[in-house]
Structure 1
Amino acid sequence: MSTSTTNRKVHQVDVLRSGGTPSALSPERTEEASTRTLQRGLRLLDAILDSGRDGQRVVDLCHATGLERATVHRLLATLVECGYVAVHGRFRYVTGPRLAERAHHVEHANFAARLQPVLARVSAACGDAAFAIVREGPTSHCIARHVGTHPVQILVIQIGTRQPLGVGAAGLALLAALPDEDVDAAIAANAPDFVRYGNMNPDRMKILVRSTRERGWSVIGNHATRGVLAVGMAVLSREGTPQAAISVASTMERMPRDRQQLIARAMRDALATLLPDGL
């Protein structure tokens, strides 16, 4: 038997005694490497979170994290693929849709908790169901509601319902509180769907927005639900930015003009008392 063959057999025996191949890592070493990779990824994600809307370039991320360029590129590729990071422009990286979705979920839960007492107070004042919505792009999203004491409750939407911004009273109040460019963009985005809501159209929606701004609160009927009229009011932040909106809905017969005004006053009073510093 040649010397080389003998050496190869001896080497194979040594490998078997050690429990693996010469290049294999022990479970402890593998776990240590995985932990180190996770720590680097989280450090990189923290740097992107701290960068704000404009994001960071790779060179900035290397400087902020102390990681090598190749490592940053490799980690970014994984974070982008998983949706935690997104490419902004050609060379910058920002937080991705999965993080934005979670942030919105937390914010909406906070808004719902803070608006629930407002809805309860308004509903107690008028006996009808009250609702709260927030804006998600060109749509409204119902985040809370309170059922009133009147024998007939008009539960036009439920928590989780989404519809074009403006076809319901709360959505119309929130739409009217937005800057003109956002109003125009939302109306344009929703135009194809308006026909499903009582033959609403962009021109009609623009008229409703103007009326809401002049009045200070919204009124809309026979659009989202036939035979139903609702009153809505925007809820602002401390800085005056529209954050959400509330509404009360009932039958057309139960909503004459004087009662619409009464409900609007109840909304204004509840917001001033329970959310004096805004949402």
Structure 2
Amino acid sequence: MTEGAVEKALVVLAALAQHSRISELTRVTGFPKSTVHRLLRTLVDTGFAVATADGDYRIGPKVLVLAGNVLQPVDSVERARPVLERLQASTGCAVHFAMLLGDELVYVDKVEGGKPYRMASRIGGRLLLHCTAIGKAVLSTRDMGGLELVARTPGTITDPQRLRAQLDRVRSCGFALDEQENEPGVRCVGAAVRNHNGTVVGGLSVSTLALEHTLPELIALGPRVVAAARDVSRALGYTH
């Protein structure tokens, strides 16, 4: 984006804090409707805005992540970071920390696995609840409701009964698996994280290539991930 385009995008983003309809954004910013459309697409693509089902727009998760990092004096990311680093050192795998922002899970921290490759995930990126390890760990603590089970890969569970059965197992063992359900060739194991009052606020996971770890090997890492999630929960004030 050019400097002028960046300035216009920031103007639209600021207006989005109080207005959701394109007609309102066009009126408030004074930009042509086509320009507002184009800038909104860019903001959506980068996570700074979200398009709603009825055609409106709202502030996206990346803005909330940035705001949270600024506003929290000792934020969750800082408290969790030592635990993530220890988990990465003990497993050799990439470790992710994601938090709920409204009804969305967003990556807020990541420790690479020290491999010659890097995972495609990025801080600020959103996670689907039904096909990621962290997502399923979180989903196991809440009502599945009418969650749309979109197929991300051939391995994604799209049958509600199968997913409910898997969530029952998550409740039993404490960790969830992503068996190449979100990204082909990538396996993950994740567990939920709670805050000081016991509310599930996110989760952490270990991610690896399917070529490097078999499913049984990944399952064997489950208790370690659960222990790390418990440590993060304690760092956030959870005492039970």
After TM superposition, is the score higher than 0.5? yes
8 Å CA contact 2:99–2:107 kept in 1: the answer is yes
3-state SS of paired residue (1:254): coil
| Structure 1 partner of 2:44 | none
Q: CA deviation at 1:162?
A: 1.2
RMSD of aligned alpha carbons? 3.1
The one-letter amino acid of 2:179's match is G
Q: CA deviation at 1:243?
A: 0.8
| Structure 2 partner of 1:239 | 197
3-state SS of paired residue (2:170): helix
Identity %: 19
Matched positions, count = 178
The one-letter amino acid of 1:83's match is Q
8 Å CA contact 1:135–1:244 kept in 2: the answer is yes
8 Å CA contact 1:170–1:232 kept in 2: the answer is yes
Q: CA deviation at 1:115?
A: 2.0
The one-letter amino acid of 2:83's match is V
TM-score, normalization: structure 1?
A: 0.54
Equivalent position to 1:134, from 91, 96, 99? 99
Map residues 56-135 of structure 1 onto 2, 5 A cutoff: 83=18, 105-107=66-68, 110-135=75-100
Distance 1:222 1:269, change over 3 A: closer
3-state SS of paired residue (2:151): helix
| Structure 1 partner of 2:167 | 209
* Mapped partners of 1:159, 1:216: distance in 2: 25
* Mapped partners of 2:122, 2:191: distance in 1: 18
The one-letter amino acid of 2:200's match is P
Q: Which runs of 5+ in 1 are unaligned?
A: 1-80, 85-96
| Structure 2 partner of 1:147 | 112
| Structure 2 partner of 1:164 | 128
Which is higher, the Rg of structure 1 or of structure 2?
1
| Structure 2 partner of 1:26 | none
RCO comparison, higher one (Cα < 8 Å, 6+): 2
Distance 1:167 1:152, change over 3 A: farther
Equivalent position to 1:196, from 152, 175, 184? 152
8 Å CA contact 1:138–1:164 kept in 2: the answer is no
8 Å CA contact 2:79–2:235 kept in 1: the answer is no
| Structure 2 partner of 1:174 | 138
Q: CA deviation at 1:231?
A: 0.2
8 Å CA contact 1:153–1:250 kept in 2: the answer is no
3-state SS of paired residue (2:201): strand
Distance 1:258 1:278, change over 3 A: farther
Q: CA deviation at 1:166?
A: 2.5
The one-letter amino acid of 2:131's match is V
Distance 1:278 1:251, change over 3 A: same
Distance 1:102 1:195, change over 3 A: closer
TM-score, normalization: structure 2?
A: 0.62
| Structure 2 partner of 1:21 | none
Distance 1:160 1:250, change over 3 A: same
* Mapped partners of 1:197, 1:210: distance in 2: 22
Q: Deviations for 1:59-85, whole angstroms, at most 9, x for unmatched residues?
A: xxxxxxxxxxxxxxxxxxxxxx9629x
* Mapped partners of 1:249, 1:82: distance in 2: 35
* Mapped partners of 1:262, 1:82: distance in 2: 45
The one-letter amino acid of 1:268's match is V
